[in-house]
Amino acid sequence: MTRSAWRSLGPAALVCAAAPAFFVLGWTVVGCALLIGGIGSAALLERRRIAAVEPSLTRDLALIGVGMLIVHSIPLAAELDDGAMLRFTLALGGAVLVPYLVSRFVFRDRAISFPWRTGRRWAPWQWIWLVAVLALGWLILPFYFITSGVYLNWPVVDSPDLIGRLFVGVGAVGIWDELDHIRGALHLGESLRGCSSSARCSRCCAGTCRTPRRTCCRRRCSSRSSGSSATAHGGRC
């Protein structure tokens, strides 16, 4: 990590601390204060770089904060009635869609992306993990739910209609976890890590970099594969 990345840990830690304040302790005022403190301190660190082409910690933390506030706007009690299903759909969907739209059309940095076809083949360990995670879930989750008493937080599911709702709801929340946490929050950590241009170029080859660096990086990657000089195609990304 670079020196600027180490300085960024403070603002990022404040924003991260807002999550347990919101969703574990239910302290709305404290959570909002932590978000404001984290985003504000990041803005003080970056100053004029907030509007730059390069990834911005302030913009990224703001996107994470927007997602948190949208999810926090609804009660998260486990319910399976029509109103609860609609409420969760709008809030969880908005927590993914709104930051994406803000990044693309307001900040214009494409900090969040959802690549569907990257052109890369899966490694053997990825296929193994895809099967292993199903087996691990089957072995671990029943034991965890029964021994911890977490199942008491859920309504009694004793009809085909409720079983169907539970199946759809849990599956949808699982997909949302991947979109929001993996493709959203973790992807935004690029500005915190302070990656080198070569690391960014490797992500561009995978189709996951932010524009307007995409064209430059693709040229560098193609030039490397052909054995020519990367600097002849636009220099640094």
Torsion on CA atoms 39, 42, 44, 50, rounded to nearest 10: -100
Q: Would you place residue 132 in the very low, low, confident or very high pLDDT band (cuts 50, 70, 90)?
A: very high
Phi-psi region of 154 (alpha: psi -120 to 50; beta: other; left: phi over 0): beta
Average pLDDT estimate for 107-136: 83
> Cα-atom radius of gyration of the chain, to the nearest Å?
21
- CA nearest 112: which of 185, 11, 175, 196? 185
Distance CA 129, CA 139 (A): 15
**What is the per-residue pLDDT across 196-236, written as a single tens digit (0 to 9) for each?**
444 444 444 444 444 444 434 444 444 444 444 333 333 33
In 33-189, DSSP assigns E strands to none
Lowest mean pLDDT, pick from 48-57, 71-80, 209-218 = 209-218
Average pLDDT estimate for 67-78: 88
Percent of the chain predicted with pLDDT > 90: 10
Q: Domains of the chain: which residue ranges? A: 3-177, 195-237
pLDDT at position 224: 40
pLDDT at position 5: 67
Other beta carbons within 10 Å of 11: 23
Residue 77: what residue type? A
Q: CA–CA distance from 210 to each of 154, 188, 237 (Å)?
A: 41, 11, 10
Q: Would you place residue 81 in the very low, low, confident or very high pLDDT band (cuts 50, 70, 90)?
A: confident
Asked if 207 and 217 count as a contact pair (C-beta separation under 8 A), the reply is no
Give yes or no for residue 127 having a pLDDT over 60: yes
Asked if 95 and 172 count as a contact pair (C-beta separation under 8 A), the reply is no
pTM over 0.75: no
pLDDT, greater one: 161 or 50: 161
